[in-house]
Structure 1
Amino acid sequence: MNPARLFAIVEDLRNQSAETNWFEFKENNGDPERLGQSISALANGARIADRETAYMIWGVRDGSHEITATNFQPHTVKFNGQELMMWLGQMLDPCPNLQFREFQHPDGRLVVLEIPAATTSPVTFKRVAYIRLGSATTKLSDQKSIEAALWAKLRPFAWEQGVALSFLTGDEVLNLLDYSAYFDLTKQRLPDNRSGIFERLVADRLIRTEAGERWDILNLGAMLFGKSLSLFPGLDRKAVRVIQYTSGDRTNTQRRHDSPRGFASGFISLIEFIDSLIPRNEEIGKALRTEHSLYPSIAIRELVANALIHQDLTVTGAGPMVEVFPDRIEITNPGKPLVEPSRFVDLPPRSRNEALASLMRRMGICEEQGSGVDKALTAVELFQLPPPDFRMDGESVRVTLYAPRSFSSMTPAERVRACYQHAALRYLAGHRMTNASLRDRFGLSSTNAAAVSRIIRDALQAGDIKVADPNAPKSGYVPSWA
């Protein structure tokens, strides 16, 4: 680790009036049992205090905070025949990623232990969770109000507030983040001084203060406004990948592009690039030729935005992908869905990434009232395209938009899916699906009423729709969940 950062951390903590529930000073005491209890207590205390890291520092006297130096050697200590780190890894659950740092302070040798704050559950030592009260370490279960406060902090904890890059100067932050795009997209006036810029970035939890007047860029800030995700270790593989193929399979790639910018600052250019790959229909009018995309632009926009917002950002080595084929577009994002794909159209949106989703809605990148799926499906119906397919594909969610095809070219499964989606859209709009409305959706005349009746019958048998009023068979149809 950067010695300057360690020095800044030590000095910041020494300048505190007293120890808190997220840092502790020691001189030479390296008793493993007490160490395990303290790690549990500090990890839990850091989460309560909204700190991402807790610290134990050997070589500093408690009370006076005087540097005394230490002879504690964490990497050579053994307990019950095991190395200290291995033993702690077995006793702590979930075990934080502990980092012992040996540091030569100008006044003597120090050892700094960095302890990540608890994330998904309280950190326990030998199956017991601990917390610090003043200078004492006690069982968490004996402090009911503190235990409740900790669980309240753990529930909303998200990957978004993890650190993408740490201990940066102000200049480095401004060079790494497209802060002007942040102010443009959130419709705020760009402050005329640096402190105003940093104040707003901190308020939206894109960055946070660090020791020694330095800054951390949080994952949320990097993912939304990073000028290049490749500059943030671990985030480069989360860049949106766009691939165009020359045929209906993946054997021949025509173009491949990784969008390097953050999801928000690069969203418009991403959509424009995808649009440039989509084939066009040409119409010849009386005087001019006009071109129209095969797909409604709002459908592509909303479905790509959904993929960015609802992906599982904790999945390593995978990011959203848009694949453009001559006859379809596939949009894939990592992570299993939080709701059944068939219910994307009606259930309130649930996101693993609430801060990211909220900010993208504020910026108008995605639909404010919901997931935007209903708008995408409505646009697809207006274009009379085959129905989109929403499905789980292994550990990912894949949405397929199909190019125009005639009704006769649609498969029976596609016709039933279109019937269900149409019934859902009609229901959400306060109407019921009828034979006539479904004919309009397919662009069919009244002479095809019998064919549409067969589709409705198949959808009823599949359990996708039901009669709106069982006592009135001609009352129309609604989705099965209505």
Structure 2
Amino acid sequence: MLHKVTAGGRIIHMEDKEIIGILDGLISKRVNESEIIEYKTNLFDKEMFGKYISALSNSAALLDEKRAYIFWGIEDGTFNVVGTSFEPFNCKLNGSNELLIPWLTKMTGDFEFEFRKIEYRGKNIIVLLIPAARWVETKFKGIAYIRIESQTTTLDKYPDKKRLLWKKLVQETFEEGNAATAKTEKDVLDLLDYASYYKFLNKRIPGNNRDIITMLLNEGCITNELSVSSVYNITNLGALLFAKNLEDFHGLSNKAIRIIKYKGINRLEAESDFTFPEGYACGFPRLLNVVKNMLPKKEVFENGIRTLRYAYPEIVLRELIPNALIHQDFMIKGQQPRIEIFDDRIEITNAGEPLIPTNRFLDMTPISRNEALARMMHKLRICEERGSGIDRVLDAIEKNKMPALVIKSEHSSVISSVYLYKSWNQLTKEDKINLCYQHCCYLFYLEQKVMTNQSLRERFNVKDMNHAVISRVISDTRKEGLIKGTAENAKKYIPFWA
């Protein structure tokens, strides 16, 4: 049985067996009352009730714990399981007609409480799960409280703790949040594809589970639940990277990658539409194969060996897909990362406004919303060092004479589009301007050269006799403010930002 009082959405449901596992650990290790643990036998004064909740919530945040607990039915000090007659779901406070649950709405802040009633060792136990404060202090009647060991007091009496709490409230990242809580060692190893971590790094899988758990702890993929070493939380980082199935994690299923293949060059008819369920790291090799198998390809002979050549260079997919995953804004709800395949292009979409201008992705150092995710994807050799991935993409596009990479921002998303080869006559005026600018950036930034009419003719596969049409493209691109002549020679060009 449970009851939730909602002013946010951070409680992750725990099964009875998970709560029992925590109780087993607390009692067997004789974990005393603390900043995040309180034991009671029956209901206590309603004013103290509110102060306890505020104090425990703020203390959990201060200690980097995800939640605090009040247990009714456990004797403090003796750890005897005595049970309780406390019934929070129909309890009236101090002889009044005011019910406990509505009274709790006096609490403010971005949090969600959950009462649970369980049977433990033949006794009724009530548990109140109290999420750690997030973004703002948890207050009772406008006052924030804190625990000093097992004592409850106002936060204002401890300015150093208040400053530290505020620092912690604003610095938690999505990656540090919990995707699943109170899991056993077996649960963790069943839910996460830990073997892929060792495979990516060309390391042998340890022969014992303890070493694997230690690795997951060190990499931030899991955390300990309280001081009970045998109970773990799986972080969003751990699930996003190594989930065998993201559907197993509440709140992350809509972060799985959606792959759509269309008939033609528009979205009128989908040939296939499905969601790839695996984590971004462990599933990446399979994801890449799924996408490649949907692309146009042909058999060619290279050095006498028959091989498949895909319409798009593989390096483009290897860089743009992880890039989209790393830079997505996880706080935007209802938007999956998408890979859409058309007859003439691939579009890769991630949620979030771009943090740098879309026409400066080559020369400006990328800013990542998700540093831990980026670090791990690089460590596992799935993506390149910061900023070098887009270099490789543009290099492949240049060498394969493909249209320009188009990166645009629409509807709080970033869309990267890669096009199949187009002849001069198939290119629009906008296509030609984009290609001219990108070619100029490529030469200046990667080759330390300047663009000329001749270099652009070669890029467009236009004959020398048609230099006038290339001059018009250069003129149009200059009018858009994307390129400029060098100081030494007006017929040599560099990007506007150079």
TM-score for both structures, normalised by structure 2 = 0.85
CA separation of 1:323 and 1:17: change in aligned 2, threshold 3 A: closer
Q: Distance in 1 between matches of 2:345 and 2:188?
A: 40
Aligned residue number for residue 63 of structure 2? 49
CA separation of 1:116 and 1:290: change in aligned 2, threshold 3 A: same
AA paired with 1:4? K
Tell me the CA shift for residue 372 of structure 1: 1.4
Alignment of 1:131-210 (within 5 A): 131-210=146-225
Aligned residue number for residue 456 of structure 1? 474
Aligned residue number for residue 113 of structure 1? 128
CA separation of 1:448 and 1:41: change in aligned 2, threshold 3 A: farther
AA paired with 2:89? H
CA separation of 1:36 and 1:457: change in aligned 2, threshold 3 A: farther
Aligned residue number for residue 326 of structure 1? 343
Q: Give CA deviations for 1:22-78 in whole Å, capped at 9, x if unaligned.
A: 222344344444333332322222122121111122344545555554443322346
Aligned residue number for residue 395 of structure 1? 412
Q: Distance in 2 between matches of 1:138 and 1:475?
A: 74
AA paired with 1:140? L
Q: Give CA deviations for 1:309-347 in whole Å, capped at 9, x if unaligned.
A: 222334444422211111111111233333333332233
Q: Distance in 2 between matches of 1:338 and 1:88?
A: 40
- Which of 408, 411, 421 is the equivalent residue of 1:404? 421
Q: Give CA deviations for 1:119-169 in whole Å, capped at 9, x if unaligned.
A: 334333444433222333344344332233224433442232333333434
Tell me the CA shift for residue 5 of structure 1: 2.8
CA separation of 1:287 and 1:187: change in aligned 2, threshold 3 A: closer
Aligned residue number for residue 365 of structure 1? 382
Do the aligned partners of 2:91 and 2:100 also contact (CA within 8 Å) in 1? Answer: yes
Do the aligned partners of 1:349 and 1:371 also contact (CA within 8 Å) in 2? Answer: no
Do the aligned partners of 1:30 and 1:72 also contact (CA within 8 Å) in 2? Answer: no
Tell me the CA shift for residue 206 of structure 1: 1.9
Q: Distance in 2 between matches of 1:146 and 1:36?
A: 20
CA separation of 1:268 and 1:105: change in aligned 2, threshold 3 A: closer
Aligned residue number for residue 89 of structure 2? 75
CA separation of 1:69 and 1:417: change in aligned 2, threshold 3 A: same
Q: Distance in 2 between matches of 1:82 and 1:433?
A: 78
Does 358-367 or 59-68 show the bigger shift? 59-68
Aligned residue number for residue 3 of structure 1? 16
Do the aligned partners of 2:221 and 2:237 also contact (CA within 8 Å) in 1? Answer: yes
Tell me the CA shift for residue 11 of structure 1: 4.4
Do the aligned partners of 2:22 and 2:231 also contact (CA within 8 Å) in 1? Answer: no
Alignment of 1:87-102 (within 5 A): 87-89=103-105, 91-94=107-110, 96-102=111-117
- Give the length in aligned residue pairs: 479
Q: Distance in 2 between matches of 1:110 and 1:191?
A: 40
Q: Distance in 1 between matches of 2:486 and 2:396?
A: 25
Do the aligned partners of 1:8 and 1:212 also contact (CA within 8 Å) in 2? Answer: no
Do the aligned partners of 1:435 and 1:452 also contact (CA within 8 Å) in 2? Answer: yes
AA paired with 2:370? N
Tell me the CA shift for residue 300 of structure 1: 1.4
Aligned residue number for residue 219 of structure 1? 236
AA paired with 1:433? M
Q: Distance in 2 between matches of 1:209 and 1:66?
A: 25
CA separation of 1:157 and 1:450: change in aligned 2, threshold 3 A: same
Q: Distance in 2 between matches of 1:265 and 1:227?
A: 8
- Which of 470, 474, 481 is the equivalent residue of 2:490? 474
- Which of 231, 236, 250 is the equivalent residue of 2:248? 231
SS in 2 for 1:372: helix
Q: Distance in 1 between matches of 2:100 and 2:63?
A: 28
Structure 2 spans left out of the alignment, 5+ residues: 1-13
SS in 2 for 1:38: helix
Does 382-391 or 203-212 show the bigger shift? 203-212
Do the aligned partners of 1:40 and 1:92 also contact (CA within 8 Å) in 2? Answer: no
Tell me the CA shift for residue 107 of structure 1: 7.3
- Which of 427, 440, 460 is the equivalent residue of 1:442? 460
AA paired with 1:76? N
SS in 1 for 2:112: coil
Q: Distance in 2 between matches of 1:303 and 1:59?
A: 55
AA paired with 1:74? P
CA separation of 1:194 and 1:135: change in aligned 2, threshold 3 A: closer
AA paired with 2:476? D
SS in 2 for 1:98: strand
Aligned residue number for residue 28 of structure 1? 42
Aligned residue number for residue 322 of structure 2? 305
AA paired with 2:278? R
Q: Distance in 2 between matches of 1:131 and 1:27?
A: 22
Does 68-77 or 397-406 show the bigger shift? 68-77
CA separation of 1:56 and 1:290: change in aligned 2, threshold 3 A: closer
- Which of 382, 395, 399 is the equivalent residue of 2:399? 382
Alignment of 1:230-249 (within 5 A): 230-249=247-266
Q: Distance in 2 between matches of 1:289 and 1:129?
A: 71
SS in 1 for 2:127: strand
